[in-house]
Amino acid sequence: MQNIKINPYQFMVLVVLFSVGTSILIVPSFLASETKQDAWIVAILGTAIGLIVIWLFCLIAQWFPDLTFVQMMEKVLGRWLGKAASLLFVFMSFVYTAILLYYSGTFLNTHLMPNTPMVALNILLAIIIVMGVRLGLETIARSAEVLILICLIFFLFLVFFISPQVNFDNLQPVFEAEPKKIVQTSLSFIEVTSVNAIVLLMIFPAFINTGIKAKKFFLIGNLLGGIVIIIFTFLCVAVLGAYNTGIELYPGYALAKRINVGEFIQRIEALMGTLWIIALYYKATIYFYVTVLGFAQIFNLKDYRPLTIPFGIIAVVISIVIFQDVIYQQRWNTTIGLIFSYTIGYSYLFY
Amino acid sequence: MELISEGKEAVLTGIQLAGNKQIGSTQQNIESISKPAQIKYDNLAIFKEDRLMGWLTEQDSRGYSGITNSVKSTVTSISCPNEGKSTIEVTNFHSKIEGNIVHGKPEVNIHTKAEGKVGEVRCKIDLKNPEAIQELEKIYEKEATRIINETIHVLQQEYQSDIFGFGEAIHRSNPQEWDQIKENWDEEFSDLTVNVKVDMKIRLTGTVNSSFLEKIKN
């Protein structure tokens, strides 16, 4: 179990997919509803601060180059306290797995398959997540390496075809939002893209063949993910306008619907959906992998694989009951989820 | 089935011929694009044994479909908490009828579980607020309960015809008591206590999370 190694490039791909994950479709809406046309500035600020957060994570990793996060915690906090803290960490990761399942379920239910029950959609995604995790980190990383190319092609395709519709009037006046508001909003942004990346400390540096030297790739991966989100936020605001971006649930998808090149290339929003589902799949898989691996390490199990199926079933159930409706979920994201992630993300930095 | 069943009467969909009957029976009818005579679905017909008793109104037909689980999906217009209207898209509607005998008198409980989305909002309501969704759920529950209760009331008072199968429900739950009351079920039916409970869950709000109407000032 400990002999798994992935190379730094594969790790970078995972980081990119992780930070892009949920964000590209959802984050622009949240940013625009808070800061109007300055949303893209928030995205830039958020990415910059996010890099500092990642750098801090790397700093911790440097002290214990061979251990996973759960093992680090046990070493620093002592046996019982360390295990308790790890349990909370694993719990967070597990809840996020379920939340991502919920995201994909509601998205498919709203836009692509309105009459399919959400349970069925969540079970389908959970099956491939469990399958991926059972096959191990190396398989996940290699498949990510292949699929990132597809993502990249789709992404360039969308950016290229939507660019004629960019209207710079939508971005003016610049810096209308108060600086305080910009900083506040960027906190939530950092939560999704960087603070939650603490779960990646389960993979980095222990499972990477060059060890701590892969730090550079962690940072680059996060930066690339940030750039993708900045571009998307910018396009959403510039094409749809700040108000429309703010009230859409999935502005990235609405953006792709606007594509119309010469009355010929149009209605390609399913590409956007595909791109998002791929990225979301890897994010959920990483969360789930961290959950089962962390759980196995806390209880000194030899292998995490027997845990995957029961945990997968529980995740599906949680994903259905966790939020009563989409509005509640949005409120949760900006309040409880924010505090939750920050507590776990930061309190561990200061031990 | 319902013709021979004890404790459930028959219902049929009405079909109406709209337009000119004379032309309708000739070939001429199908030669023009908008046909002079057409067949239309009409309201539901209520039977008692094999006799036609009367016709349900549109609202009562909705109530009937709700009680007997024949709703696959529908849209219902409800009023907003303050003023105006909004529309709920119902994607799942399931009713359970349970019979019971309380103090020697038959009683029926209807428990309905529904799921839906916010389909349209034509009023000022802040959908970004979770409580707004709960308020809409409550209003829907009230509205659905009212429709079902009114339908039952009409059937009890005007037709004394148990089209919902309440008798069957009591037969299933209390077979011994059913033997005694089945002879004069029609009278029992007309003063039967029916408790209706509707449970609505609104899960999605469509592609947007709030309506622009909220921003428009009077």
Per-residue pLDDT tens over the stretch A225-262: 889 988 988 888 888 888 888 888 888 888 888 888 87
Least confident of A49-53, A78-82, A143-147, B58-62: A78-82
Do the Cβ atoms of B204 and A326 come within 8 Å?
Answer: yes
Burial class (CB in 10 A: 0-12, 13-18, 19+), A30: buried
Do the Cβ atoms of A326 and B205 come within 8 Å?
Answer: yes
| Set of chain B residues whose Cβ sits within 8 Å of the Cβ of A247 | 208-212
**Strand segments (E) across chain A:** 260-261, 265-266
Do the Cβ atoms of A248 and B209 come within 8 Å?
Answer: yes
Q: Say how far apart CA A36 and CA A44 lie, in whole Å.
A: 15
Share of chain A above pLDDT 70, in %: 91
The two three-digit tokens of residue A173, written as one number: 């006046």
B205 touches chain A (CB under 8 A): yes
Section B147-160 average pLDDT: 88
Q: Say how far apart CA B27 and CA B25 lie, in whole Å.
A: 7
pLDDT at A176: 77
Do the Cβ atoms of B130 and A109 come within 8 Å?
Answer: no
A29 touches chain B (CB under 8 A): yes
Query: Does the pLDDT of residue A120 top 50, yes or no?
Result: yes
Nearest CA in chain A to B214: A247
The answer to whether the CB of B144 falls within 8 A of the CB of B94 is no
Q: Say how far apart CA B12 and CA B79 lie, in whole Å.
A: 31
Nearest CA in chain A to B210: A247
B210 touches chain A (CB under 8 A): yes
* Among the partner residues B127, B129, B207, nearest to A250 by beta-carbon distance: B207
A325 touches chain B (CB under 8 A): yes
Token pair 């997968």 in the structure block, residue: A312
* Among the partner residues A115, A248, A324, nearest to B201 by beta-carbon distance: A324
pLDDT at A1: 47
Strand arrangement of the beta sheet that strand B11-19 belongs to:
B11-19, B37-48, B51-55
Do the Cβ atoms of B205 and A118 come within 8 Å?
Answer: no
Do the Cβ atoms of B201 and A243 come within 8 Å?
Answer: no
Do the Cβ atoms of A247 and B202 come within 8 Å?
Answer: no
Q: What angle do CA A151, A155, A160 make, to 5 degrees?
A: 155
pLDDT per position as a tens digit, B167-201 = 888 888 888 888 888 888 888 888 888 899 999 88
What distance in Å separates residue B64's CA from the closest CA in chain A?
24
A172 touches chain B (CB under 8 A): no
Mutation pick from B71, B126, B209, B216 vs chain A, by most beta carbons of A within 10 Å, is: B209
Do the Cβ atoms of A250 and B201 come within 8 Å?
Answer: no
pTM of the model: 0.82
Q: Say how far apart CA B193 and CA B196 lie, in whole Å.
A: 10
* Among the partner residues A250, A253, A327, nearest to B128 by beta-carbon distance: A327
Radius of gyration for the alpha carbons in chain B, expressed in angstroms and rounded: 22
Kind of pairing, strands B51-55 and B37-48?
antiparallel
| Set of chain B residues whose Cβ sits within 8 Å of the Cβ of A114 | 91
- DSSP per-residue string spanning A51-109: HHHHHHHHHHHHH-TT--HHHHHHHHH-HHHHHHHHHHHHHHHHHHHHHHHHHHHHHII
More confident residue, B126 or B199: B199
3-state SS assignment for residue A256: helix
Query: Does the pLDDT of residue A215 top 50, yes or no?
Result: yes
Mutation pick from B128, B207, B210, B212 vs chain A, by most beta carbons of A within 10 Å, is: B207
pLDDT per position as a tens digit, A292-346 = 998 998 888 888 888 899 999 999 998 888 777 666 666 666 666 666 666 666 6
The answer to whether the CB of A251 falls within 8 A of the CB of A234 is no
CB atoms within 10 A of CB A334: 15
Mutation pick from A327, A328, A335 vs chain B, by most beta carbons of B within 10 Å, is: A327
